[in-house]
Amino acid sequence: MLVMSSTLGLLAGAAVSHAQQPPVHVFSGGVFIDGTPVSDGTAVTAWIDGNVVAKTMVEGGEYTLTLKQPPGQSYAGKIVTFRAGEVQTGVRREWKKDAETIVNLDAYIRGSGPPGSTDRVPGRFIRECVLNALGRLPSSVEDMAAPELIKANQLCPSLKGRGGALRGGSGARPAPDSQPAADVSAHIFQGKALISGEPAEDGTGVTAYIDGVRISGTKTNGGRFRLVVPQAQGRSFVGRFVEFRGVTAQGRRFEWLAPAAWTGSETSITLGPEVRFASGGQSGGGPVGNPVSIPDPVTLECVRGVLGYLPATGPREMTQEQLDAAGSACPGLRGRMGQVLNPRAVDQSNRECAQRVLGYLPPNVQAMTAEETQRVQAACLGGRSIPDDPTLSRDSIRGEPIPSDPAPSQDPIRGFFTNSASGNMSDLNNLLDPTMLAVLGILLTLVATSLSLVKGS
């Protein structure tokens, strides 16, 4: 009996020990480098006291890290820092028992551009990166030992050439949550996903788009979804509409018809039941519906992201390398590159980009300030200059877009950001002008009449 009691006691103790799971803190959110979502498969690591304590891979632009407290140790109150690949982020959070934290991870590689340019990272981001990389914030480059300088340059590429950004650092260790919470935020959408009134099958992709740009994605489980739509530092999604697109397990693309507003909170919604499937089944990555619709804003923005700008005259001004890169990254171009990248659609897309950047559409280029011109050139034209075209004031009066033709036009046009007329094509356009044709018709009539009179005489 004594032996049996001892055995039962040991088994009970083992059961209690097994039931006591180690404390954890779960972190999740989006991952960005230079404000752009990183590619799937990018490694994300969490660090405490200079050691890696958790690692995961990005999937759908998002990460989830579970930090378990090892037996015999205490993480309570310790600072957690994060790296995206081999780049240090500026995010630092305190480990808390059984907590869940949504936080976007922002890392920066660029940083040495001229003042005021989009290639110049604010000094605050550089200081946050160095702080997390070294565990302290030096007051200058000279305040770092050689090993520290090497480490800071490796983990914080934006520091190179920007040592002056460290000025103002006290060298002290700041409070755990010194990074303002307002710098990063996300909106969580969750609820039912319906397709034509029926629950979406498990594994159906759900993707969020804002202004035609993919932000994040997830997959359904049990007819439901949970999608974190993060906002990167330096960007504001407040009040913007989120469009939801999907792809079935068989690869058929579609979109849910009702968008939802991004407010930086958590919302329970139902996607569906109305959906619109893409024509052509699995093919196409542009807008759902008619696959040859003009313009195609999603594909145009994809091309802008690949090249940095939209070619004014379409594929004919693109190099083979550019054609291959755009065709590979933007499925909506396949089989219809010339139709999507037609001059009118490009000009309209550039107008919309300028309006997003400036908050309004200038009546013409001459009405833009130097600072506005620089911003539009950097964000919409890949640093290229805006053509100085005297017809701009006519084409863009009252900020109205140039109407798109029902079919792609191959004729050169003059637009807000484009001037594709050149050489003999311009002369041909002038000859085909209605007024010129009328004058030529009158001259031909006079010549024919004169010949008839001479012949009669």
Q: State pLDDT tens for residues 162-208.
A: 777 786 444 444 444 333 333 347 888 999 999 888 899 999 999 98
Task: Provide the b/e sequence for 327-357 (b: ≥16 CB within 10 Å).
Answer: beebbbbbebbebbbbbbbbbbbbbbbbbee
Helix axes 123-134, 146-155, angle to 10 degrees: 120
**pTM (predicted TM-score):** 0.39
Q: Which of 85-94, 369-378, 410-419 has the least mean pLDDT?
A: 410-419
Q: Is the model more confident about 333 or about 322?
A: 322
Residue 12 lies in a domain: no
Whether residue 128 has pLDDT greater than 80: yes
Single-letter amino acid code for the residue at 329: A
- Which of 183, 204, 224 lies at the terminal end of a domain, its last residue? 183
342 and 254 within one domain: no
Domain of 178 in residue numbering reads as: 24-183
Q: Is the dihedral of CA 101, 102, 106, 107 positive or negative?
A: positive
326 and 221 within one domain: no
Q: Is the model more confident about 168 or about 216?
A: 216
Whether residue 161 has pLDDT greater than 70: yes
What CATH number has the domain bearing residue 254? 2.60.40.10
Q: How far is CA 40 from CA 187, 206, 230, in A?
A: 21, 16, 16
Secondary structure element (H or E) that encloses residue 424, with its range: helix 423-431
203 and 332 within one domain: no
In this prediction, residue 394 has a pLDDT band, given cuts at 50, 70 and 90, of very low
Q: Is the model more confident about 430 or about 407?
A: 430
Q: State pLDDT tens for residues 60-77.
A: 888 999 999 999 889 988
Give the 3-state secondary structure of 13-39. Answer: HHHHHHHCCCCEEEEEEEEEECCEECC
41 and 178 within one domain: yes
Structure tokens at 221: 């489980």
- Looking at residue 67, what is its pLDDT? 94
- Under 8 Å CB-to-CB from 142, ≥6 apart: which residues? none
Residue 437 lies in a domain: no
* Number of domains into which the chain is organized: 3
Q: Which of 83-97, 378-392, 402-416 has the least mean pLDDT?
A: 402-416
Residue 61 lies in a domain: yes
Residue ranges of alpha helices (H) inside 315-409 are: 320-329, 337-340, 343-358, 370-380, 392-395
Q: State pLDDT tens for residues 305-324.
A: 888 888 877 777 788 778 87
- Which of 162, 183, 204 lies at the terminal end of a domain, its last residue? 183
Question: How far apart (Å, rounded) are the C-alpha atoms in residues 25 and 93?
Answer: 11
Q: Is the model more confident about 438 or about 280?
A: 438
Question: How far apart (Å, rounded) are the C-alpha atoms in residues 238 and 240?
Answer: 6
Look at strands 241-247 and 260-261 and give their pairing. Answer: antiparallel
Contacts 24+ apart (CB under 8 A), 429-433: none
Single-letter amino acid code for the residue at 189: F
Q: State pLDDT tens for residues 218-244.
A: 999 999 999 988 876 666 777 778 889
- Looking at residue 434, what is its pLDDT? 58
Residue 122's Cβ-side half-sphere holds a number of Cα atoms within 13 Å equal to 9
Give the rounded percent of residues in the chain with a pLDDT score beyond 70: 71
In this prediction, residue 113 has a pLDDT band, given cuts at 50, 70 and 90, of low
Residue 11 lies in a domain: no
176 cis-preceded (ω within 30 degrees of 0): no
178 and 32 within one domain: yes
- Looking at residue 64, what is its pLDDT? 93
Give the rounded percent of residues in the chain with a pLDDT score beyond 90: 16
- Looking at residue 366, what is its pLDDT? 79
Q: Is the model more confident about 341 or about 69?
A: 69
- Looking at residue 343, what is its pLDDT? 78
In this prediction, residue 335 has a pLDDT band, given cuts at 50, 70 and 90, of low
358 and 224 within one domain: no
Mean pLDDT of the chain, nearest integer? 74
205 and 171 within one domain: no
3-state secondary structure of 137: coil
390 and 311 within one domain: yes
- Looking at residue 233, what is its pLDDT? 60
In this prediction, residue 114 has a pLDDT band, given cuts at 50, 70 and 90, of low
189 and 175 within one domain: no
251 and 216 within one domain: yes
- Looking at residue 201, what is its pLDDT? 92
406 and 262 within one domain: no
Best CA proximity match to 152, nearest among 172, 173, 126: 126
Determine the straight-line distance between the first and last CA of the chain, rounded to whole angstroms.
144
Structure tokens at 307: 């090249």
* Most confident segment among 132-136, 255-259, 390-394: 132-136
211 and 335 within one domain: no
